[in-house]
Structure 1
Amino acid sequence: MIVHPQIDPVAISVGPLSVHWYGLMYLLGFVLFILLGRYRIRHNPQSAFTYQMLDDALFYGMLGVIIGGRLGHVLFYQLGYYLEHPLKVFAIWEGGMSFHGGLLGVLVAMIMLARKYHLPWLAVTDFIAPLIPPGLGAGRIGNFINAELWGRPTDVPWGMVFPYVDELPRHPSQLYQAGLEGIVLFIVLWIYSSKPRATGAVSGMFMIGYGVVRSFTEFFREPEDGFMGVLTLGITMGQWLSIPMILGGIIVIIWANRQTSAVRAKPQQRKKR
């Protein structure tokens, strides 16, 4: 049995100014986004992305993550509470962010970016998709440091006690998610996107990959009481929200490949005539 190290959530404190580890994890995710994006641009001269577009993608994406993530938490998990306390919607510092809401926010933000640079929307999301997992992993490390979103009780040798919760050994589900969302998903997408793909295929693979990983890790994560934990058929809200992601990703990949096949077939038809 392991006891959670109970790390102080405040990393740096100077007078009234405090910098939290969770905020630093967000910052780390944004830095990795830029570094990996620049690497992709340098090693893929044919990419329509420029350094300026990458910087804009980060700015637009940050707004999408914060606004979408907060609204997603409000709408998907605690709508009743926020209807009674509407001003609490703006109290982001108290916590409460939803990945699925943040994803929707980023998708809307990328529509704006695509219009600004006159690029296909899916071409933009294809480029940024492999850059997202490291930030997700960093965020889960932040959850672990804060001792939040802990796992379900377990008897595995690496079960961890979270003293702020109870004395039961639990799955360190934050670390499971950090490894699968941040490392495994990154490797899969990086390798998959390293070869020419139909426009939209990388985005579809991200949706499938995240949906599968999130659905799997939800079996080890303690459902959040008061946050719409386990719903119909014993499936958590996180799993219900991931199912459309998986189905949507499959549809996008099929559509993308069919579009590419149709484009390739047109020149051959012309030659026959």
Structure 2
Amino acid sequence: MLFALPFPPISPVLLELGPISIRWYGLAYVIGLIFGWWYIIRMVDKDRLWGGLKRPKATDIDDLLVWMTLGVVLGGRVGYILFYNFEAYRQNPWEILQIWHGGMSVHGGFIGTAIAQYLFARRRGLNTLSIFDLTAAAAPVGLFLGRLANFINGELYGRVTDVPWAFIFPNSDGLPRHPSQLYEAGLEGLLIFAVLTPLIWKGGILRKPGLAVGIFGLIYAAARILVETVREPDPQVGFLFGDFLTMGMLLSAVTALAATTLIVLALGGRTRRPEPSS
């Protein structure tokens, strides 16, 4: 018999107030966005981080938070529909609005927030890549909390394994599985934050627009591809080719290509353009 750790008895619902339920997953989004707002304000308030590069004012960040919230929610939902479950939603389109039933894509969230940030930067006359850098610096905390919430929900778990830290997840087939959500929390959240934080505060990478988001994207893509080797594919998608390539791997490979391009351009000074003073 395979060994497995007991799954912690934590309810996905943190608090119920009559018909209103506060779930860990929703709370992760809220805390992640609030932290992002606070952390970005700290960064834009420090002149030494920018080397004279134009950046948003602290008062702009309230509006940026609204744009980011809409981008991550709409993008995450649309991405999940298009990348992971299009046929089901095509047959039952009314379920598209039922976001409380789950169904969000991280890669879709990235695309949604990128569009929102681009529109925000255009309206404010800012370098879009500098906005990307700010949100990339704060995003790992939200990713960390979101993956912990996935673990509490007992969803997006890994493949069957005999490692001594395996768990039997609720509503699964009862077999010990990799806690892939915790792997992602550590790699996509803690690791990226640990790498970017000193580079921003000591290395001055915000002076090269696109470098921070490029580093974020490259580490995220590598981490996601690594974890996908032990993560159970979404049942409605499965493996794309043979028994190895998954949708998460494919989307992460595209992310890595875009991130590498940004890093090369930023290091070459091709992303920093003269900005008129405000």
With the length of structure 1 as denominator, give the TM-score of the two structures: 0.90
Q: Name 1:269's counterpart in structure 2.
A: none
Q: Tell me which moved more, 7-16 or 190-199.
A: 190-199
Trace 1:92-241 onto structure 2 (pairs within 5 A).
Answer: 92-194=99-201, 195-197=203-205, 198-226=208-236, 228-233=237-242, 234-241=244-251
Structure richer in helix, relative to its length = 1
1: distance between equivalents of 2:210 and 2:16? 44
1:163 CA displacement: 3.5
Stretches of structure 2 lacking an aligned partner (at least 5 in a row) = 274-278
What residue in structure 2 maps to residue 30 of structure 1?
33
Cα–Cα, structure 1 residues 168 and 85, in superposed 2: closer, same or farther, change >3 Å? Answer: same
Cα deviations by residue, 1:208-248 (Å, 9 ceiling, x for unpaired) = 1111111111112111211x121125211000000011011
**Contact 2:209–2:272 at 8 Å: present in 1 too?**
no
Change (3 A) 1:81 1:49: same
- Are 1:3 and 1:163, in contact at CA under 8 Å, matched by a contact in 2? no
Cα-to-partner distance string for 1:28-66 (whole Å, 9 max, x where unaligned): 111221222232234345652322222222111110011
Query: Which runs of 5 or more structure 1 residues have no equivalent in the other structure?
Result: 264-273
Give the residue type in structure 2 aligned to 1:201: L
Taking structure 1 as reference, are residues 46 and 216 closer, same or farther at Cα in structure 2, changes over 3 Å only?
A: closer
User: Are the counterparts in 2 of residues 70 and 101 from structure 1 also a CA contact under 8 Å?
Assistant: yes
Distance 1:262 1:45 in 2: 16
Take 2:152 and 2:272, find their aligned partners in 1: how far apart are those partners? 50
| Secondary structure at the counterpart of residue 171 of structure 2 | coil
Structure number with larger C-alpha Rg: 1
User: Alignment partner for residue 69 of structure 2, among 39, 62, 66?
Assistant: 62
TM-score normalised over the length of structure 2: 0.89
**What is the percent sequence identity of the aligned residues?**
39
Root-mean-square deviation (CA), in Å? 1.8
Out of 27, 40, 43, the position equivalent to 2:43 is: 40
